[in-house]
Amino acid sequence: MKIVLVGYMASGKSTVGRLLARQLGIRFIDLDDYIEEHQKKSIKTIFSEKGEIFFRKLEHQMLNEVLGKEESLVISTGGGTPCYGTNMTIILDEADHSIYLDLSIPNLLDRISKEKENRPLVKNISDKELPEFIGKHLFERRPYYMQAKHILDCNGTDAETVVEKIKELL
């Protein structure tokens, strides 16, 4: 079984995915971590050294590689994964369950503003400009996330409870 989590930056994909996999007793792959392990570089360094187009091509290749594995997996994607090329189509074709962790702009803003450093797309955005940036970016990306098989409202819900809600969907 393959379960893929999608959603904007800081929606909780990595945290919830790790917890969900542990409770289901299956392997967890965070696509960002997988890319970093293969490149032996951080996402931040890949962006700064090679640029975003290189990252997106790599992300597409690694997504295909991970979805092609024969084992049951929980896969946490990066916030941009579903929004480039044919990635969301591939996720819908290959995953048994795709789940959009839906969070409001104020809640995303609260989380992202606390940890911009490791997110290349926002690390140079001022706190003043961040609300507009996230609002615009989410407007562009939400149509991709909304294609997921399940849409889960995660506002005001701790990670453990999000995991319980996901298990009810499976």
Ligand X SMILES: Nc1ncnc2c1ncn2[C@@H]1O[C@H](COP(=O)(O)OP(=O)(O)O)[C@@H](O)[C@H]1O
| Cβ-based neighbours of 54, under 8 Å, separated by 6 or more | 46
Lay out the site mask for Mg ion across 14-43 (x = CB under 5 A, - = otherwise). Answer: x-----------------------------
- Among residues 60, 72, 58, the alpha carbon closest in space to that of 29 is found at 72
- Both tokens of 165, joined, read 């809600």
Q: How many helices (H) and strands (E) are present in the chain, helices listed first?
A: 8, 5
CB of 162 to ligand X, least distance (A): 5
| Residue 73, contacted partner among ligand S3P, Mg ion, ligand X, none, CB below 5-8 A by kind | none
Q: Is 17 annotated as a binding residue?
A: no
Helix, strand and coil content of the chain, in percent to the nearest 5, comes to: 55, 15, 30
Single residue of 7, 24, 134, 138 touching ligand X by CB under 6 A = 7
Q: Is 27 annotated as a binding residue?
A: no
Q: Is 11 annotated as a binding residue?
A: yes
> Residue holding tokens 């606390």?
114
Q: State the residues that interact with Mg ion by CB under 5 A.
A: 13-14
> Residues marked as binding for substrate?
32, 56, 79, 141
**Which residues sit at the interface with ligand X, rule CB under 6 A?**
7, 9-16, 76, 111, 115, 154, 157-159, 162
